[in-house]
A and B are shown apart, each in its own frame.
Chain A
């Protein structure tokens, strides 16, 4: 057994646990409201915020990139709160539109400044294996506060709070683990089971299996975890179908 395999995977595992901690409860609400693509839209707008700030000539230091990403994500959240009130029936379609428009606006802005592409890539395609303890600490602090809001703040009833919390959670998680894993961590545990504790367990199992598979079979780590989460979700669904309701 390679002696180092555990500490190679430890930061990635911790990043996954942070992401799951916040995404599992939010994913249940997202599924309830039928707005599953909201994370893709918010992340894309956060990226647009960075590209726009770059376009406006701001020096992209670490702090100002985070600030412009978070501001753009919060602005998108505010817009989606308004459309949720005004056009509730087509909210999911509007979310889809926000996603493609933000992505296309990025392409237009980047055609003037190709260097922004690197910042955009860093923001949208985080790689879970490259996570460092230095990245985990600020996210852990942020998520600690947001978890208190998620569990104690009544976000199910307070629409504005839900969208604001969601924007901040996703802006941070996408940079850690990338957009595919964010979507998978949000939706798949919620799909696997209705019970919160079981959803956490399904998510953790998916991460453990995916990380182990990527180590043993030499696979790209993020993609391996996504597929493992899907496998766990499918097994949970099959188990649920086999057991009669209430059983």
Chain B
């Protein structure tokens, strides 16, 4: 019996936030990593999803509600990425501080210029995000803009530690700008490459590196491909002059690998977010690994 009580007590100790001045609830690992960079020990950061989960949908756990209920700040992608679960979670948490529109709700995608905003939203076109492509974290220049905005928001929520947030922001931006320059130089050979993607995850990454998306393996966003569609795609790939296939760690690799095998194109699995691959341990590792994996796929094609 004693052991049982100890176990329960230990479980609660794990479930409860450590002592810090504010609690931050983040929807995706990239915003968890950015919040840790900027808030350091002044905040307890909780990440709702893992890199291997599709951020469009998630399983309900009581800890999600408990964490959001105690949060002073929620950091999410926004732009309808979490539409399948965040509204239900916000409703159950009933925490006025983090409702959309309040200072405690920070939507990262709203801080940057979004791509692929549809001119019309038609239900027949699949899971279209009316606010544009929400996967903004794949361009390091977006991370910079979002970091500046998030540091300002932290200062607004917790002005007592404003100086510390500003100092961490400046330190992060100095390292980030140097790294971005390095990634741009490393990624220069990728300019003009033509890629087949699984899902429209990469609009921002491709805009940054100058890669062109020439086809998607999903016929419509969120819809798995049929055999007829794959056959048509394989016929089209030579005409579209595609050079590589790109898919994310959270996606089922089978369709992408099938197309890679049949078409002879190299396939690059990209981490997509922090934790997606072993090398993507933080935001710096995320882009180090993304650029390295793209370059290795690109050179695999160039060789044969």
**What is the interface of chain A, defined by CB distance below 8 A to chain B?**
1-2, 4-5, 8-9, 11, 111, 113-115, 117-118, 127-130, 132, 211, 214-223
Q: What residues of chain B lie closer than 8 Å to A216, measured between beta carbons?
A: 8, 11-12, 15
Q: Count contacts on B: residues with CB < 8 A to the other chain.
A: 29
Q: What residues of chain B lie closer than 8 Å to A215, measured between beta carbons?
A: 15, 62-63
- Given the interface pairs A1-B12, A2-B15, A4-B66, the reply to whether A127 lies near B226 with Cβ below 8 Å is no
A220–B123 CB distance below 8 A:
no
Whether a CB of chain A sits under 8 angstroms from the CB of B92 is yes
Whether a CB of chain A sits under 8 angstroms from the CB of B181 is no
CA distance A127 to B89 in the complex (A): 11
Partner of B220, one of A8, A114, A118: A114
Partner of B62, one of A5, A114, A115: A5
CA distance A218 to B84 in the complex (A): 20
- Given the interface pairs A2-B16, A117-B222, the reply to whether A217 lies near B11 with Cβ below 8 Å is yes
CA distance A83 to B137 in the complex (A): 56
Whether a CB of chain A sits under 8 angstroms from the CB of B117 is no
A218–B12 CB distance below 8 A:
no
The prevalent SS among residues of B at the interface is: helix
Whether a CB of chain A sits under 8 angstroms from the CB of B236 is no
CA distance A5 to B92 in the complex (A): 12
- Considering the complex, give the chain A residue whose CB is closest to the CB of B128: A115
- Considering the complex, give the chain A residue whose CB is closest to the CB of B62: A215
Q: What residues of chain A lie closer than 8 Å to B223, measured between beta carbons?
A: 111, 114, 117
- Considering the complex, give the chain A residue whose CB is closest to the CB of B226: A111
Whether a CB of chain A sits under 8 angstroms from the CB of B60 is yes
- Considering the complex, give the chain A residue whose CB is closest to the CB of B95: A4
CA distance A118 to B222 in the complex (A): 10
B60–A130 CB distance below 8 A:
yes
B123–A129 CB distance below 8 A:
no
CA distance A9 to B126 in the complex (A): 34
Q: What residues of chain B lie closer than 8 Å to A4, measured between beta carbons?
A: 65-66, 69-70
Q: What residues of chain A lie closer than 8 Å to B14, measured between beta carbons?
A: 218
With both chains docked as a complex, state the minimum distance between the C-beta of A115 and any C-beta of chain B, in angstroms: 4
CA distance A1 to B11 in the complex (A): 10
B60–A221 CB distance below 8 A:
yes
Partner of B88, one of A8, A9, A130: A130
A220–B60 CB distance below 8 A:
yes
With both chains docked as a complex, state the minimum distance between the C-beta of A205 and any C-beta of chain B, in angstroms: 17
With both chains docked as a complex, state the minimum distance between the C-beta of B287 and any C-beta of chain A, in angstroms: 30
Q: What residues of chain B lie closer than 8 Å to A220, measured between beta carbons?
A: 59-61
Q: What residues of chain B lie closer than 8 Å to A217, measured between beta carbons?
A: 11
CA distance A117 to B84 in the complex (A): 12
11 additional A-B residue pairs with CB within 8 Å, beyond A130-B89, A216-B8, A220-B59: A2-B16, A4-B66, A8-B66, A115-B127, A118-B127, A130-B88, A132-B91, A211-B62, A216-B15, A218-B62, A220-B60
